[in-house]
Amino acid sequence: MIQAIGLTSDPRKQLPPAVDDVSFEARAGCVTALLGAAGAGKTTALRLMLELQHGRGITYFRGRPLHRIAHPSREVGVLLGDVPGHPARTVRGHLRMLCAAAGVPARRADEVLEVVGLVSLREERLGTLSRGMDRRLGLACALLADPHTLVLDEPADGLSTRESRWLHGMLRAHAAQGGTVLLTTADPKEAARAADRVVTLERGRLLADQEAADFSRTRLRPRVAVRTPHASRLAALLAKEARTTRRSVEVVRESGNRLSVYGSTCAAIGETAYRHGILVHQLADEIGDMGPDSAARLSAESRADEAPLTPARETITAREHERAAAPPVTVPMRHKGSATADDLPAPREASAAPDGKPTTPQASTGEPRRADAPTEDYGPSSPATPHAAAPNAAAPNAADPHATVPPLDDSRAADFSPDCLPDLPPPIAVHPAPSPLRPLRYELRRAAGVGTGFLTAAAVLVVSALTAVLLARVGHTPHPRLLVAWPRELPLPPAALGAGLLGAIAFGEEFRHPALAADRGTVPRRLGLLAAKLLVASATALALAVLTVGCDLEVLYLVYGRELAEVPADWLALSASWIGLVVGCAWAGVLAAGLFRSTTAGLAAVVAVPVLLVPLVQKVLEGPSVRTAAGFPLRLRELLLSQWPFGGERYLAAAARVIAQPVGGALALSLAALLAAYLLTTTRSRVR
C-alpha cells in the first residue's frame, strides 16, 4: 500500500504551494483515484511521492520510502505524461533498453507488448505513435519489471471510450492480484466508474477522501439521458410540467438530439413522451458531474464514441441497501485467456515464442500475488510458470487466497467482472545482474538503439579523410598532424570533436529524454551509470581514433602514394598522445553533459579546453619561474628502477610528458575539475 504523509511542495513566488499538507492512503488490492481539476496539484503530489521534486513530507511504499528501496522500478511502475523516449528509437528497442536498466530478461519486452496490444507496432518509432498507442506504451513501461504498485498520471487522457474501458480493465486486473494502483484524473465520472476510492484535491489541499460509492452519492447526481428527434418539443413539455407540479427539474439541451434531464426519472419522462406522442430513441439513467462544464464534456464524449452510452445505475437504490446488509462475496479467480473480444480493442494473435513456436494463452491455476510479500518474490521460482490471478482484495492484506471483499457497485462490477478482465504479463522471478553489468547493458542498448552514433562516426571519418587530402595538397603541415587531419587553424581535430559530441550525447539524452526518471529521479547521477558511460565512451573514442588514422592513411596512399602514408618512427608515443586526446575529449563531453544537464554544454566544455584552458596553461608555463622540471624523466627512472624492473617506468614517463604538454595538461585539469564537480553535485542533489 501507499501512505503519503504531509506532502507539501516548496512555496512559489508570491503564491501558495501547489500541494499543501496532503495525506492519504492507497490500499493494496484497490484502485485509488486522485481527483482534481487542472492546477489542483495532482501531478505535483505524484512527483513529491516519487521524490522527483523537492518538498516536505514522506511517502511509504509498503512501509519503505522510495530512496530506501534497492530496486525502485520493481516496486513502483510509473507513468508521468508522455513516454520519455528518443523519437527515433523503436518501441521494442525502448523496452529492451529499460529491461537492461531494470535487470529483467530482454524477453520481457515482447511479453508486455503482447499484453498491451503493440506487437504489430514493435518496430515503429516512438515519434510516430498516436496518443492512444503512447498511453499503451507507457503502461507497458510501467508493467515491465512486474511492480507491485502502479502510479499513473492521467492515464486515460486523450483516449476514446473503448480504450479507456480497456485501460481501466488492465488496472482493475492488477489490483485484483493484490497490487496497488494510484491514478490521477480530472473527470469525476471516470473516478467513480474506475476507482474503489476517490481522493479529491482542490487548490493543493485535501478536500475529501471517500469510497467510490460515497463519492458518487455526495459529489455526483443522477440524470436521465434522452435521445429523441423532437428534443426541443420534449424539453419544453418537461419544463412546463415541472413548473405546473412545482418540481425542481433541469433540462439541458445538448448537441444533436440529446437531452440531459436532472431531477426526474426514466418513468416520468417516458410517460410524458407517450402522452404527447413523441418518439424516444434512448432513455437511460446516468450519473452526471455537478461541475459547470459537465455538459461540454458529455457532448465531447458522445461525439468521440458512436455507440450509445452504457446506462449506469442510480447510486442510491433499495438494492444497494440490501447488498450492504448481505455478507461479502468471494471473487472467483481469473485465468489467462479469459478476456473477451469486446473488452480488448482488437483480437490478439498468437505470438512467437523465443524458439519460434507460436504460443497461445493457457488456462491455469496458481498462487495469487501477495500484497505484503517482498518485491523480489512476486512471481514463481521459474519464469515459465503460468500466470494466474488472485482475488480482488480491498483490505491491505491480500495474502490470503480466499480473501473476501465487499461487492462492487453495479456499474463498475458490470464493466470489470473477473471473467472480463484483460490479461496481465506473467510474473517474473527477477535475478538482478551484478551491479557493474546492468548499467553497462543499458548503456550499450541506449547507444546502439538509434543511428546518431553511427552517423556521427561516419561523418567524422569522411571529414577527416577530406581534410587530410586538402592538408597534403596545401603542404606545410607536420606529418603526425597530417595523419590525424589536424590543421593548425583548428583547436581540435575532427575525431576529437566527434568523440566529444558522442560523449555529450551519451549523458545529454538522459535529461532530454529521461527514461530513467521514474527509477532514480530526474537526475540519474549514479556512479554505476557514470562508470558505464565513461567505459562505453572510451571504447567508442578508441575505435574512432584508430579508424580515423587508418582511413587517413589509406586515402593518402591512394591519392599521393606511399610517401605520405609512412608510419612515423615514434609511432608509439604519438599513438598514446592521440588516443589520450580523443578519449579525454569523450570523457569531458560525458562529465560536462552530466553536470550541466545538456548536450550543448557538454560539447561546449570540450571546445573550451583548447580555446580557453590551453592559452592559460601556456601562459603559466611560459611565465617567470625560479625552478624548472628539467630532467624529470631521468629522476623518475632512478626512483622507480627498483620497483619496475621490466622498464615500466617508460610508460609512466610517456604519460607525464603527455600531461606536461599544454593540451594534455589543460585536458587533465578540465577532467579533474568536471569529475570533482560531478561528484559534489551528486552527493548534494539527492532528494530525501
Secondary structure of 514-543 as H, E, C letters: CCCHHHHCCCCCCHHHHHHHHHHHHHHHHH
Q: Is residue 496 part of a domain?
A: yes
* Number of folded domains that form the chain: 2
Q: Is residue 600 part of a domain?
A: yes
Report which of 87, 1, 78, 11 is spatially closest to residue 43, judged by C-alpha positions: 78
- Per-residue pLDDT tens for 485-519? 998 888 889 999 999 999 999 988 888 888 776 55
The DSSP bridge partners found for residue 61 are 2, 64
Which of 282, 312, 342 finishes a domain?
Answer: 312
Residue 207 CA, chain-centre distance (Å), reads: 30
Q: Is residue 542 part of a domain?
A: yes
User: What CA–CA distance (Å, rounded) separates 223 from 254?
Assistant: 14
pLDDT at 253 over 80: yes
The DSSP bridge partners found for residue 185 are 35
Residues 306 and 454 in one domain: no
Q: How confident is the model at residue 400 (pLDDT cuts 50, 70, 90)?
A: very low
* Mean pLDDT of the region 513-530: 67
Residue range(s) defining the domain that contains residue 460: 437-619
pLDDT at 91 over 90: yes
pLDDT at 379 over 60: no
Q: Is residue 121 part of a domain?
A: no
Weakest mean pLDDT among 57-66, 172-181, 649-658: 649-658
Intra-chain end-to-end CA distance of the chain, in Å: 20
Which of 595, 619, 643 finishes a domain?
Answer: 619
pLDDT at 35 over 60: yes
User: What CA–CA distance (Å, rounded) separates 39 from 122?
Assistant: 35
pTM: 0.69
pLDDT at 320 over 80: no
* Residue 682, CA distances (Å) to 523, 536, 678 in order: 9, 21, 6
* Residue 497, CA distances (Å) to 159, 573, 621 in order: 45, 21, 26
Q: Is residue 36 part of a domain?
A: no
* Residue 639, CA distances (Å) to 556, 636, 644, 646 in order: 44, 5, 10, 14
User: What CA–CA distance (Å, rounded) separates 403 from 391?
Assistant: 7
Which of 570, 593, 619 finishes a domain?
Answer: 619
Q: Is residue 593 part of a domain?
A: yes
Q: Pseudo-torsion of CA 430, 431, 432, 434, nearest 10°?
A: 180
- Nine-digit cell string for 366: 496458481
- Please say whether the beta carbons of 2 and 49 come within 8 A: yes
Q: Is residue 599 part of a domain?
A: yes
Q: Is residue 131 part of a domain?
A: no
